[in-house]
A and B are shown apart, each in its own frame.
Chain A
């Protein structure tokens, strides 16, 4: 799976305004709603489900990266977006570090395989230090989009 298979380009946020966990999630969900990738009427239900998942254990996987996610009946295919915080947000990560890179994922109820392949893609690409650093330093949504495209074309890792 590639980033272009699940990242809604119009919803990418280069400079997140939020400074805590719930606000980041709200900001990214709102951005997906504005990009018409999520239904406005499901906003609170989706945010609540993502926060509930965080209670089971933070999705902050270390290296300043988090993958907040949930399954939700209102989507019929995997949809996600990317957000970057230059200051970093306290996300109760596994390594205790603040999170700068967010990959928010909403999956249909019955597609565990797609979720697994999105996680595979994100972790494989972000193991590359250069790609990770470039994303954290990105100043615009266009920069991020271009970096994701380069990653999809295997310009960072094979």
Chain B
């Protein structure tokens, strides 16, 4: 997997940027499943998406990159998007994080009520 610095050169007319701060609300932090949900949601947009914690950057579409940020519950991160659908991407990602990374209702509760854990 090569992380490219190039954007796919859409017309300058449609380029835009958007960004926001979000607080990771779920107590477990951005562990593997949340990072996976984030990267999957980010991948639905053509904009380039970057996530930063303490100025450390990560590619928002890469699970491995996101995991290197080790964002704990209650910590803030900065999401920025650049591309034709930047605003829609930021809106969707901010909502995802605020909802505790739940793309469907079942996942986090299943783990907590899991008899083995």
- Measured CB to CB, the residues of A under 8 A from B are 45-46, 48-49, 52-53, 56-57, 59, 61-63, 65, 67, 69-73, 94-95, 109, 112-113, 115-117, 119-120, 122-124, 126-127
Q: Is the CB of A115 within 8 A of B31?
A: yes
Q: Is the CB of A94 within 8 A of B67?
A: no
How close is B112's CB to chain A, nearest CB, in angstroms? 9
Q: Is the CB of B116 within 8 A of A45?
A: yes
Residues in B neighbouring A56, C-beta threshold 8 A? 33, 107, 110-111
How close is B78's CB to chain A, nearest CB, in angstroms? 18
Q: Is the CB of A112 within 8 A of B31?
A: yes
Q: Which of A48, A49, A123 contacts B68 (CB 8 A)?
A: A123
A120-B27 Cα distance, complex, nearest whole Å: 17
B6, CB-defined interface residue at 8 Å = no
Given known A-B contacts A62-B63, A123-B68, A49 and B116 have beta carbons under 8 A apart: yes
Chain B residues bordering chain A, tally (CB within 8 A) = 25
Q: Is the CB of A94 within 8 A of B36?
A: yes
- Most chain A C-beta atoms within 10 Å of own C-beta, residue among B28, B65, B117: B117
Residues in B neighbouring A94, C-beta threshold 8 A? 36, 63
B92, CB-defined interface residue at 8 Å = no
Q: Is the CB of A112 within 8 A of B28?
A: yes
Which residue on A lies nearest to B116, using beta carbons? A49
How close is B44's CB to chain A, nearest CB, in angstroms? 14
B1, CB-defined interface residue at 8 Å = yes
CB-CB nearest 4 A-B residue pairs? A49-B116, A120-B70, A123-B67, A71-B117
B88, CB-defined interface residue at 8 Å = no
Can you list 27 pairs linking A and B with CB atoms under 8 Å apart? A46-B116, A49-B117, A52-B114, A52-B116, A56-B110, A56-B111, A57-B33, A61-B63, A61-B67, A62-B1, A67-B32, A70-B116, A94-B63, A95-B1, A109-B117, A112-B29, A112-B72, A116-B30, A116-B71, A116-B72, A119-B31, A119-B32, A120-B68, A120-B69, A122-B67, A124-B67, A127-B68
